[in-house]
Structure 1
Amino acid sequence: MGFLSIDFLYPLNTSVAYSTVITARDGDILHAFLSRDDKWRLYVELPEITPTLRDAILFKEDKYFRYHVGFNPVSMLRAAGRNFVSGRRTSGASTITMQTIRLLEPRQRTYGNKAIELFRALQLELHYSKDEILQLYLNLIPYGGNIEGLKSASLLYFGKLPQLLSLAELTTLTIVPNRPSSLRLGINNSLVVQERNRWLARFRAKHLFDETTITDAMAEPLTAYRRSAPQLVPHLSHRLRAENPDVPIIHSAIHTATQATVEQLIRNYANRIKAYSIHNSAVLVVDNQTHEVVAYAGSADFGNTFDGGQVDGVRAIRSPGSALKPLLYGLSFDAGTITPKSKLSDVPTNFGGYEPDNYDRKFNGPVTAEFALANSLNIPAVALLKEIGTPVLVETLRKAGFKTVRKQAKELGLSMILGGCGVTLEEMTRLYAGFANGGVVKELRFTGRSDGSVRETGTRLLSREAAFLITNTLSQITRPDLPNNFDNSYHLPQIAWKTGTSYGRRDAWSIGYNQRYTIGVWVGNFSGIGVAELSGANTATPLLFQLFNALDYNSSRDKLRKPGGSLSMRLVCPETGDIPGEFCPSQVTDYFIMGVSRYRRCQHRKPIFTNAAGTVSYCAHCKPDSGAVRRSYPNLSPEVAAFYQSRHIPFETVPPHNPTCERIFGSTGTGPLITSLNDGSDYFINSRQLTDLELGCQAANDVQTVFWYLNDKLYKKARPDEAVFFRPKPGPLKISCADDKGRYSDLHVTIKNE
């Protein structure tokens, strides 16, 4: 009872500052760090203490370790007698338990301290098993300099883990701690061999190991020398150490061979693109089955401090360019607003003062949704975002774990779909892994030894049907973001991929996936300097293709299997992607999500009654009883009609309305879209140098004339495509535009002096 009271009052502290070790999925050491007290003190795990190691160390240090309670009274009496007869200390009686206490709590060698050591040894035996005490001892034994522990010596002198050591190497490591100053590995190897073989001879005499094993061990040359600690996968290693500061061994999910392949490819590629003043690259490889990160390269060269090699490009916040567009299209598929064959307008458009342009500064007119996504067109994407709402996209990205987007939520607008937000390569790769996983995003696993049986629920962002439609579109190879002059087109990997190039050509992205892997590639400069040659297609995609061909060459196309359930096919009009109507003689097949995709009759042409010559159109009020001919005319949106007019693309226009008609059309319907000026804006003028402001609009196909009003006073009559100028005066200004059918629209601006 007294011992237990003292044990409670004076507890034994066995906490040790170990070196942090990062291992690969197969157990190989990738990276080792010094401990907090600048020691190489690697933690040896129980399975690493092999029977050979255990037998050798116990025979040499403490034959009765399994039987005593922390000290051996017989050995102590024998040692005391020898010391008394000789008058000096000739032999010790310290057990492994007592030696462990001395390593934990170094003290001067006095009889009083010896008593404390015995008490502490009893405490250690009380609280820990024999295997745990042996493990602690092996973690603390000194090997000279700042190397402590058998695992540290095994790694730094032999370049291997303890369980891989031969008997000769194990024996070497058991004898060095007794004479670390004279038995210096790599310096006095010949002396070490003599002492090693002397102990091997003792092992033979006691039949500790079989004769052949002893003979081979004695003949084995000693090749020990001081090696550098492993420093592989530096970005991930530093990250895991910071996230797990008190964990001595962190088991990462890295696949050693995959990591080596990725590092070699990214290093070679970085040397090629240096000629274009592009210095940095980052790659993340995710196993789609387990969501483990099997390769992690934060930069092309961690040691390149001049170009910021120690910056972790996987976690750096960058602009995504167009790389978020697939998610937007997936949300639109799920909202039922579009299907792959739905027609979108790729024409100059003013979104409340925001006038985006395409990457190539060209416009394609009406295009299908799948064409717009595959070709990464900007105008259709902004129009889709305006339709579903920026908050919907922001909330979806928040659910997907985009931290910077969550912080920027209140500031984000339509430009975010073109790169006007902050993302990381880790977030983007996780998102695309969600596409590969049928629309469900799961946390990436950087640590752990998964056997693939773990199935986290994850967060569903898209339906399986929408994810399939995205994958089907991004698998097309007739795309502008295929690298120019791709000389090995027959090695084009069978993947779905999307590129992105940020404003100012500061970031190039290419992220792809197949059934097995999702790979994210970022290329650029950590300094933020843009480069004219930088683009997702020609800078990042070649590296992406090389990675897929090296890691998963000739993979299958199982990813393209159509999911069961509500995804089906239907006939649509190729002009709009809607259900064929009266004026749709040709039809094509299109995917649609049953119960979700909208069911709308095609109205790409509308019926109009005209005279026989087709020079005058009639309404129901003025249509004559005979002689009227029913014809169809293109039912173009105002912005498409304006685009055709500006490009001089011919199209059928509705003839002028019957001039003798007495009908008043009224203001039903949508009036002309005013594209200049911008509603709610302030315009500043210089009173000493007055300038004119331009008015512009987009009107429907049946409009011949528009009327401009300033503060409700008629200012000018003009054609819909005609630019109108006026000289502003300070003060509030109401601008109205009416067409010849009586439809109108208004906006308000304020004119101010500078």
Structure 2
Amino acid sequence: MDERRGLTGCMKRAFKVLIGVAVVLALVGGLDLLFPLPPPPQYSPIVLAADGSVLHAYLNPTQKWRMKTELREITPVLRKAILEKEDRWFRWHFGVNPVALVQAAGRNLFGTGRTTGASTITMQVARLLEPKERTFGNKLLEMLRATQLELHYSKDEILQLYLNLVPYGGNVEGVKSAALLYFQQTPDYLSLAQTVTLAIIPNRPRGLVLGKNNAAVLQERNRWLNRLGEAGLFPKEAVEDALLEPLDVQRHAAPTLAPHLSRRLVRQFPRQAIIRSGLERGKQAKAEDLTRNYVRRLYELGITQAAVLVVNNRTRQVEAYVGSADFRDFANQGQNDGIVAVRSPGSTLKPFLYALAMDRGLVTPKQLLPDVPTNFQGYRPENFDKHCNGEVTLERALAYSLNIPAVRVLNQLGVPTFTDKLRQAGFQNVTRNRTRLGLSSILGGCGASLEELTNLYVTLAEGGQYSGLQLVSTRKGTSTSPLISEASAFLTTEILAQLTRPDLPINAASSMRLPKIAWKTGTSYGRRDAWSIGYNKQYTIGVWVGNFSGQGSPALTGSEVATPLLFDLFNTLAYNSPNDWFVPPAALDFRLVCTESGLVPGENCPNQIIDYFLPNVSSGQRCQHVREVLVSADGSFTYCRACAPAAGYRRELYPNLLPEVVAYKEAQGIPYRRLPPHNPQCQLVRGGAERAPSITSPTPNTEYVLNRHEKQQLLLTCTTDNEVRQVFWYVNDKFLQAAAPTERVFIKPPPGPLKISCADDHGRNTDVLVTVTEL
């Protein structure tokens, strides 16, 4: 029975407690409904570096410097100084201190002592959140609001609000704003003397103005230091040292590093008071200084801007972001962001193209590619220096950024395959215009930004694994997707690392403290954009130099203008860094190839070299750089198998050249072993249509508009097999003239549809159809 009574009593007490809690909650809910909490303060947006220091700060919407102080920045020293000075019983009262109220009322009523309002820190927060005229009625509302704040916030949160709202004169509010603007440090890095200085000013923000009333501030600071020391809050030695610290401060400008990225992040995260970027403060400051000083030296060349992006390859964090040479250079549009601006990428996409081609088994580093004038269905690319080299290895074509071999490889790979990979790599302009892109895209015919291009080279540095760049600090690992194979990425890197460094043309390898780099340059059409992008194991750095107006300059080339800044940045940011380099992946292997073609040696390949290849991927095509020919005894003519006599001939090897290579050698007067003419007595046509002349001008299915007053003419050219001695031109099936295979023929065509035919001296024929319009 007693146990039942005891249990019943406990249940009654618990029920009463629940009823009490319910009543309190109802009262609080009603209070909130009738007396809603004031909105949170409007803070100044700030962007932090990776180490937590402030890179850039903005005024809040009310044009005040009110930077949010985080809980971790409220040090024990700051906490002790504020509580001792403002509210010793802060941890114990519920927003209003009744003892302090009675004492204040007595002093104010009897006129003894200093007149005070007995405001607690919570009451001050209420007043700072909703400033009102100081009246007795408003004081009661302030106490009611303080009680409400205590019910909604923890003590630490209320103290944080107080430290974010206290005035420091002018438009400076909050301890963090004051610490940065006067001491150029965040609150958690201040000394004891500096902390106490900031603790004493809020009560007299107009009388104790840092930078104007330093003597008065110093006197008040020392008085409080002694008082705090006597209270035993700080060690005696620390207080004595703080008393000796001078106070010679003035107001400084707010931090303005990384203005372009800061503006971008504030727009991206408009509701965040604190945005944590991944920028390294030291690298950012160095990059800005180097870029600004470098561009100043280019002004006389008509070059006014540059942009720089520095990426940590392992984390994909952007560690330096320079959108222009000078953000405040309004005359040269310095507020434009060169990191995201879409420009012509020039030749910077060529490494990626060759890597894709190696993954498709189309090429290997030592394979020879024709570098001769070529007509790709109406598109006739030229090398940057307007010269051709005949035949070059892929590694030479990439290292020296030759245009014609790159277009030829893209033609083999296919433009859709190439642009699909660029789309996967985040190239926005390519994604929007993918269906309209052609062979010119490899020479800068597609738009790209420095951010996109730099990340493409980060992908090369990371073994072909693609992931987006990280602009904000994150502890989460980034997911990656394979864009190219690790093997092709390594081979591309090895080629790009072969060039002689422009800053150390001699004995660069002996400079052990300087980083080893693979890099590529690019120059857009009209010399409007100069690019240089380099990378090693640790970093990738992208550089763009030019004018935001789009105006070109004769001096604006990637190698001459952008590369010096690239190496200045690497030598400064990565000096004495670990110089470990990429190692060949297991998927790679070696093989012997013919020196003359770069292909697997055939029967007649005495000269051979070692080359990398991708097993089960790279082509196993046999070399056929020479072919066996049946030649008459006196060497005056050749036989085909059909007309060869039973005896009286010999077998000889002749170069097996492409028709366009033959045409180039003929045009340049380059000697080569040319086939004798075919047996004139042969009655059979040899070779078939695949060896017929190829008409390079005019372009098939093209309309030509000619001005009759200027007597414009149409050019006829072709390429042929190297045994052809003569070609015959026909217009609308009427004979025009005979000519040498490499001879340029001009005609005055009639208007309308036109059929152009070219036949060689072996009876093989090619036709093209064009339309001629006269104006």
- Which interval holds the TM-score relative to the shorter structure? over 0.9
2:570 to 521, 525, 548: 548
Return the TM-score normalized by structure 2: 0.92
2:322 paired residue number: 297
Cα pair distance change 1:627/1:191, threshold 3 Å: same
1-structure distance, mates of 2:287, 2:465: 26
Find the residue that maps to 1:30 and give its secondary structure.
Answer: strand
Alignment counterpart, residue 601 of structure 1, candidates 599, 607, 622:
622
* 1:187 has 2:209 as partner: no
CA contact (8 A) 1:493 1:549 kept: yes
Q: Specify which of 252, 267, 275 is matched with residue 242 of structure 1.
A: 267
Tell which deviates more after alignment, 686-695 or 412-421: 686-695
Q: C-alpha root-mean-square deviation of aligned residues, in Å?
A: 2.2
Q: Is the 8 A contact 2:712 2:748 kept in 1?
A: yes
Query: Which residue is 1:67 aligned to?
Result: 92
| 1:399–1:459 CA contact under 8 A, matched in 2 | no
Whole-Å separation in 2 of the counterparts to 1:340 and 1:623: 40
* 1:633 to 2:654 alignment: yes
Q: Is the 8 A contact 1:666 1:742 kept in 2?
A: no
Matched, 1:159 2:184: yes
Relative to structure 1, the CA distance from residue 109 to residue 688 in structure 2 (aligned partners, 3 Å threshold; closer, same or farther) is closer
Choose which of 695, 698, 701 in structure 2 pairs with 1:674: 695
Who is 1:497 aligned against?
519
Say if 2:249 is the partner of 1:224: yes
Residue 104 of structure 1 deviates from its aligned partner by 0.7
Residue 730 of structure 1 pairs with residue 751 of structure 2: yes
- Residues paired across the two proteins, number: 747
* Contact 1:493/1:545, CA 8 A, preserved across alignment: no
**Within 2, Cα distance between the matches of 1:18 and 1:348?**
63
Q: Is the 8 A contact 1:236 1:296 kept in 2?
A: yes
> Which deviates the most, 119-128 or 327-336?
119-128
Describe the superposition over 1:581-609 as per-residue Cα deviations: whole angstroms up to 9, x where unpaired.
12211111111111111110111111121
Q: Provide the rounded CA distance (Å) in 1 between the counterparts of 2:469 and 2:537.
A: 16
Q: What SS does the aligned partner of 2:330 have?
A: coil
User: Does the C-alpha gap of structure 1 residues 179 and 7 become closer, same or farther in structure 2, counting only changes over 3 Å?
Assistant: same
* Structure 2: gaps (5+ residues): 1-25
CA 1:672–1:94 in 2, change beyond 3 Å: closer, same or farther?
A: same
Aligned mates of 1:74, 1:557 — CA distance in 2:
69
Per-residue CA shift, 1:386-409, capped at 9, x if unaligned? 111122222211111112222232
Could you tell me which amino acid in structure 2 is paired with residue 459 of structure 1?
Answer: S
Q: How far did residue 189 of structure 1 move? A: 2.1
Code of the residue aligned with 1:239 in structure 2: it is: R
SS at match of 2:773: strand
Q: Give the Å deviation of 1:239.
A: 2.1
Q: Does the alignment pair 1:274 with 2:299?
A: yes
**1:284–1:297 Cα contact (<8 Å) kept:** yes
User: Match of 1:177, SS?
Assistant: coil
Q: Matches of residues 199-348 of structure 1 in structure 2 within 5 Å?
A: 199-348=224-373
Query: 1:528 aligns to what?
Result: 550
For residue 408 of structure 1, what is the aligned residue in structure 2?
Answer: 433
Q: Does structure 2 conserve the Cα–Cα contact (< 8 Å) formed by 1:494 and 1:554?
A: no
Give runs of aligned pairs for residues 676-695 of structure 1, distance below 5 A.
676-687=697-708, 690-695=711-716
The one-letter amino acid of 1:641's match is V
Q: Is the 8 A contact 2:315 2:478 kept in 1?
A: no
Kindly indicate whether the alpha-carbon contact (under 8 Å) linking 1:373 and 1:473 is maintained by their aligned counterparts in 2: yes
> CA offset at residue 690 of structure 1?
4.4
Please give the alpha-carbon distance, in whole angstroms, between the structure 1 residues aligned to 2:124 and 2:576. Answer: 59
- Contact 1:442–1:458 (CA<8 Å) still a contact in 2? yes
Q: 1:487 and 1:317, CA in 2 relative to 1: closer, same or farther beyond 3 A?
A: farther
Task: Say which of 739, 748, 751 aligns to 1:718.
Answer: 739
- Residue equivalent to 1:561: 583
The 1:673–1:10 alpha-carbon spacing in structure 2 relative to 1, beyond 3 Å, is farther
Matches within 5 A, 1:71-110: 71-86=96-111, 90-110=115-135
Write the distance in 1 (CA, Å) between the matches of 2:748 and 2:249. Answer: 89
Q: Output the CA distance in 1 between the equivalents of 2:170 and 2:115.
A: 26
Distance 1:604 1:666 in 2: 18
Q: Note closer, same or farther for the CA distance 1:590–1:487 as it changes in structure 2 (3 Å cut).
A: closer
Q: 1:228 to 1:597 in 2, by over 3 A?
A: same
Aligned pairs for 1:130-169 (under 5 A) are: 130-169=155-194
| Residue 479 of structure 2 corresponds to residue 457 of structure 1 | yes
Q: What is the one-letter code of the residue matched to 1:535? A: T
1:666 deviates by 7.8
C-alpha distance after superposition, 1:668-693 (max 9, x if no partner): 42421111101111112345664432
Is contact 1:483–1:538 with CA below 8 Å preserved after alignment? Answer: no
1 CA distance for matches of 2:687 and 2:459? 51
Task: Kindly indicate whether residue 144 of structure 2 is the aligned counterpart of residue 119 of structure 1.
Answer: yes
Contact 1:158 1:223 in 2 (8 A): no
Distance 1:521 1:621 in 2: 62
1:645 aligns with one of 663, 666, 681: 666
Q: Cα deviations across residues 516-545 of structure 1 (Å, max 9, x unaligned)?
A: 111111222222222212211121112222
Q: Is the 8 A contact 2:503 2:564 kept in 1?
A: no
Q: 1:164-175, aligned counterparts within 5 Å?
A: 164-175=189-200
How far residue 743 of structure 1 moved from its aligned partner, in angstroms, is 3.1
Separation in 1 of the partners of 2:695 and 2:267? 56
| C-alpha displacement of 1:422 | 1.6
> Alpha carbons of 1:306 and 1:686: their partners in 2 closer, same or farther (altered >3 Å)?
closer
**What whole-Å deviation, never above 9, does each CA across 1:94-123 have from its counterpart, x for those lacking one?**
211111011111122334333332332222
* Equivalent position amino acid for 2:557 in 1: S
Once the two structures are superposed, residues 598-644 of structure 1 have per-residue CA deviations (whole angstroms, 9 ceiling, x without a partner) of: 11011111112121112222222222122232222111111000001
Q: In terms of mean alpha carbon deviation, does 429-438 or 697-706 score higher? A: 697-706
In 2: Cα distance, 1:64 partner to 1:94 partner: 11
- State the Cα distance separating 1:308 from its structure 2 match: 2.7
The offset of 1:161, in angstroms, is 1.4
